Amino acid sequence: MDYLSITGPSRLGGEISIAGAKNAALPLMAATLLCDAPVVINNIPDVADIRTLLKLFDKLGSKFLFEDHTLTIDNEAVNNTTATYDIVKTMRASILVLGPLLARFGRCEVSLPGGCAIGQRPIDLHLKALEQMGAIIEIKNGYVVATAPEGLQGTRIIFDKITVTGSENIIMAAALAKGKSELINVAKEPEVVQLCEVLHAAGVEIEGIGGDELIIHGTDREPVCFEEFSIIPDRIEAGTYLCAAAITYSSVTLNHVRPDHLDAVTAKLHEAGCRVESDENTMTLYPAARLKAFEISTTEYPGFPTDMQAQFMALATQAEGVSIIEERLFENRFMHVSELQRLGASIHLKGHTATLNGPIQLLGADVMATDLRASSALVLGGLAASGVTNVHRIYHLDRGYEALHEKLKCLGAKIERLKE
Ligand code: UD1
């Protein structure tokens, strides 16, 4: 197993390019199941979660080539509709094949994802919506067994809560359903929007793209035909490097970004005293004279993303005054707190709210990554801390950050990837 060894405090500088968004690539790869001809997707990040989904595609019978961030995938020969436990347990987002498999083949079996480090994360809303579309759903031996022998039927669905992968699953199911689906209270994350745009370009009539109400005119099981396309830049990777610049009082430029997808993050960086200058696809962070305390409450897009909460907690350790961070989406997304405390952070946790006093001179220590975004917060802490911070269990980071240590090294960080 590998770990990262960071010698801080670091001063960064220069520019890096941001990869394609993992959370956009996963549903769009799943959407290729709606098609029976080859599809070419560019700018796919080379991260572990993508490799995991490809493993699942291999088991389903897909033919594909993934090279230089381009995936060419042909799902004509798919002859298996089971997503097995061994794959789903390593990546919950495997649930994204449920909607498209059921819509195209009229049946599928997907292992129930089970619990997760950051919270319960049920999939009840995915299942309820599919039932409303006429699917018969049973839970057998830990699997969701879904059937729709006559195909899915378009209908009106109101999501009780905003769910990103839930919206994506039902959008894909609706694309091949019979008749019109009206989806109300749909997630508006840029990744959901790109899924709609690509399906629209593939011939599925979708009204209301970008809003929280969609009308989707299904093809009645007629496979769709995708044009070649590119995955949008990863807003969470970009936000993480903006925090890396901010926490080290450095100036860093990001290329291949969509600044408009990062408005809530940029607003908080301004509140902390940093300046961010952007043009169409680059962003430069200019550091604060002194970082100032800020308040954050995570919520759905376009609000402040839960996937940036941990990184801003690391930043708050260096900000002068009392910062307050409220986590509203996941009940257990504070696993990084005790690890940041090992670096010396002053954090008081009560319920869903963390209160931080800063600035604190962090001191290097051994820390343990617990989930994907928590891990990046520990790397940020290590950049700011004096001495050596070793971040263990970085397989969590590998799930979503491509070449993290190479990118940070290129910005001037003293960081090594070593074997335990
Ligand atoms: C996606 C992202 C993840 C991000 C999250 C919130 C992917 C692959 N993952 O996860 O990085 O942190 O959105 O922005 O895109 N819920 C239910 N029932 C359901 C579904 C969700 O109660 O059937 C709840 C969840 O427990 C959570 C909230 O709704 O409290 C939002 O979760 P959701 O948007 O579904 O997260 P994911 O799609 O799993």
Tokens for 73, please give them. Answer: 């995938």
Query: From CA 381, how far away is CA 362, in angstroms rounded?
Result: 7
Residue 116 designated active-site? yes
205 and 162 Cβ atoms separated by less than 8 Å: no
In the set 116, 196, 225, 243, the catalytic residue is 116
pLDDT band at 311 (very low <50, low <70, confident <90, very high): very high
Taking 70 as the threshold, does the pLDDT of residue 114 lie above it? no
Q: Which residue's CA lies nearest to atom 9 of ligand 1? A: 23
**pLDDT score recorded for residue 89:** 92
**pLDDT score recorded for residue 136:** 97
Q: Cα dihedral angle (305, 307, 311, 315), rounded to 10 degrees?
A: 10
Closest ligand 1 atom to residue 189 Cα is 14
**pLDDT score recorded for residue 270:** 98
pTM of this prediction?
0.98
DSSP 8-state class, residue 129? H
Computed over every residue of the chain, the mean pLDDT equals 96
**pLDDT score recorded for residue 113:** 86
Let me know if 89 is exposed, middle or buried by CB neighbors in 10 A (0-12, 13-18, 19+): middle
CA of 325 to the centre of ligand 1 (A): 19
Q: Which residue's CA lies nearest to atom 35 of ligand 1? A: 163
CA of 329 to the centre of ligand 1 (A): 8
Residue 161 near ligand 1, beta carbon < 6 Å: yes
Could you count the other beta carbons within 10 Å of the beta carbon of residue 203? 14
Residue 181 near ligand 1, beta carbon < 6 Å: no
The mean per-residue pLDDT over the stretch 301-328 comes to: 98
**pLDDT score recorded for residue 116:** 64
Lowest-confidence pick of 41-55, 117-131, 138-152, 326-340 = 117-131
One-character DSSP codes across 249-312:
T-EEEEES--GGGGHHHHHHHHHTT-EEEE-SSEEEEE--SS-B--EEEB-STTSB-GGGHHHH
Query: From CA 176, how far away is CA 267, in angstroms rounded?
Result: 39
235 and 370 Cβ atoms separated by less than 8 Å: no
Radius of gyration of the CA atoms of the chain, in A: 21
**pLDDT score recorded for residue 331:** 83
pLDDT band at 402 (very low <50, low <70, confident <90, very high): very high
Residue 400 near ligand 1, beta carbon < 6 Å: no
**pLDDT score recorded for residue 180:** 98
Per-residue pLDDT reduced to its tens digit, 225-273:
999 999 999 999 999 999 999 999 999 999 999 999 999 999 999 999 9
The mean per-residue pLDDT over the stretch 307-322 comes to: 98
| Among 164, 297, 334, residue to substitute to test ligand 1 (most atoms within 8 Å of Cβ) | 164
Tokens for 128, please give them. Answer: 């309820």
Taking CA atoms, 354 is separated from 38, 128, 300, in Å, by 48, 34, 19
Tokens for 350, please give them. Answer: 């009560």
Residue 124 near ligand 1, beta carbon < 6 Å: yes
Per-residue pLDDT reduced to its tens digit, 372-390:
999 999 999 999 999 999 9
Residue 122 near ligand 1, beta carbon < 6 Å: yes
- Best CA proximity match to 167, nearest among 145, 144, 184: 184
Q: Which residue's CA lies nearest to atom 27 of ligand 1? A: 329
- Best CA proximity match to 241, nearest among 304, 272, 285: 285
Tokens for 29, please give them. Answer: 């790869």
Q: Which residue's CA lies nearest to atom 5 of ligand 1? A: 164
Taking 70 as the threshold, does the pLDDT of residue 17 lie above it? yes
* Dihedral sign, Cα of residue 257, residue 262, residue 265, residue 269: positive
Let me know if 97 is exposed, middle or buried by CB neighbors in 10 A (0-12, 13-18, 19+): buried
- Please tell me the total number of residues recorded for the chain in this structure: 420
Closest ligand 1 atom to residue 128 Cα is 23
Return all residues near 332 (Cβ < 8 A) that are at least 6 apart: 117, 118, 119
| Among 163, 194, 195, residue to substitute to test ligand 1 (most atoms within 8 Å of Cβ) | 163
